Amino acid sequence: MYKLIPPLILLNALIFILCLSLGPSSVGFYDVIEVINGKADTNTESIILAYRMPRIIISMLVGSALATAGCAMQALFRNPLADPYVLGVSSGASVGAAIVILIGIATTLNTMLAAFVFSLLTAFIVYKLGETKIGLPVYTLLLAGVAMASFLSGVTSLLIYLAGKEMHQIVFWIMGGFWTAQWEKVWFVFVPIVGSIVYVLLNSWNLNAILMGEEHALSVGIDVESFKKKIIAASSLLTSSSVAVSGIIGFVGIVIPHAMRLIVGENHRTLIPTTILFGAAFMPLVDLIARTATESEIPVGIITALLGAPFFIYLLRRAKV
């Protein structure tokens, strides 16, 4: 199934050009060519290079990060319905962003940093809560994640209630989107996302073993407890980085891995690279719909929920068969 990788790379290139050429302004494909040739005016160059390009790159990074984290979590928990937010990372990020907005220091950088730090802190607390004397059972980790997510969702709701006129800012951030995309955000998340994706990709064989059960993984020489910690760390870093720059965009971590699983099967050596590439192609396309479908931009999280919820229901029905 490696033969699917070149078409996916080509698909990413085509979607990149498409998204760079389309938008609410009149700047189109030929303007992109003029920018490449250095013949475009300052305004056109600004729209393409300072607005559209960082937005597309961030959406590709976030799409591939959430898809990779979802794929890793599904293997770790051996549960097809696990997603990147299963450890409560998104709820932690929401609290961080809400606090910054509530106290009135909500610059783009401050909001991003607060969401990133709080999401990583949440993942660490969940890890410590799930840890036992015998190791890190996935069921205790899952229960700790559910409990923490529920608690932090309550905290976020309280902060929204106290926010008053700033309430819409918090709600809009939680809906998820790329309207504040800029090059600073690209540089902020590029290394953690790419580094974590490479780590997961290099450990695809180990994920295959984990998927077969911890006893099987031990029998083939994997230090299961150490590997679980590293995968949780990589997935948390992927999710935290994504949420910090885009808010909460749901269902991508479930839909993308399963879409590719239906095509390439369960082998993570092919599943992970195709999932990365399909996630990178899917997200900018959804973002293009979000910024061009109506006069006012639609939050990307709404569109992914509308697309993902029916697929989620399909998975539930399929699991009963």
| Cα(237)–Cα(234) distance, integer angstroms | 5
CB 87 within 8 A of CB 126: yes
Q: Which of 88, 80, 115 is nearest to 244 (CA)?
A: 115
Identity (one letter) of the amino acid at 119? S
**Per-residue pLDDT tens digits of the chain, which is 321 residues long:** 578 899 999 999 999 999 999 888 778 888 888 888 877 788 888 888 888 999 999 999 999 999 999 999 999 988 877 888 988 999 999 999 999 988 888 788 888 999 999 999 999 999 888 888 777 788 888 889 999 999 999 999 998 888 877 788 888 888 888 988 889 999 999 999 999 999 999 999 999 998 888 788 888 888 888 898 899 999 999 999 999 999 999 889 988 998 898 889 889 999 999 999 999 999 999 999 998 877 778 899 899 988 877 877 776 676 555
CB 45 within 8 A of CB 164: no
β-bridge mates for residue 239, sequence order: none
| Cα(243)–Cα(113) distance, integer angstroms | 10
Three-state secondary structure call for residue 132: strand
- For the CA atoms of 63, 65, 71, 77, what is the dihedral angle to 10 degrees? -130
Residue 176: C-alpha distances to residues 72, 120, 147, 181, 228 (Å): 22, 18, 23, 12, 29
For the whole model, what pTM was predicted? 0.92
Distance of CA 9 to the CA centre of its chain: 19
CB 88 within 8 A of CB 160: no
Residue 160: C-alpha distances to residues 116, 135, 174, 176 (Å): 19, 37, 11, 16
Instruction: Print burial letters for 5-36: b (CB count within 10 Å at least 16), e (below 16).
Output: eeebeebbeebbeebbbebeeebeeebbebbe
Q: Which two tokens stand for residue 280?
A: 């990178």
Domains, the chain: 2-316 (1.10.3470.10)
Phi, psi angle pair for 221, to nearest 5°: 95, 15
CB 244 within 8 A of CB 113: yes
Phi-psi label, residue 296: left if phi above 0, alpha if psi -120 to 50, beta otherwise? beta
CB 317 within 8 A of CB 304: no
- For the CA atoms of 251, 201, 57, 124, what is the dihedral angle to 10 degrees? 60
Identity (one letter) of the amino acid at 263? I
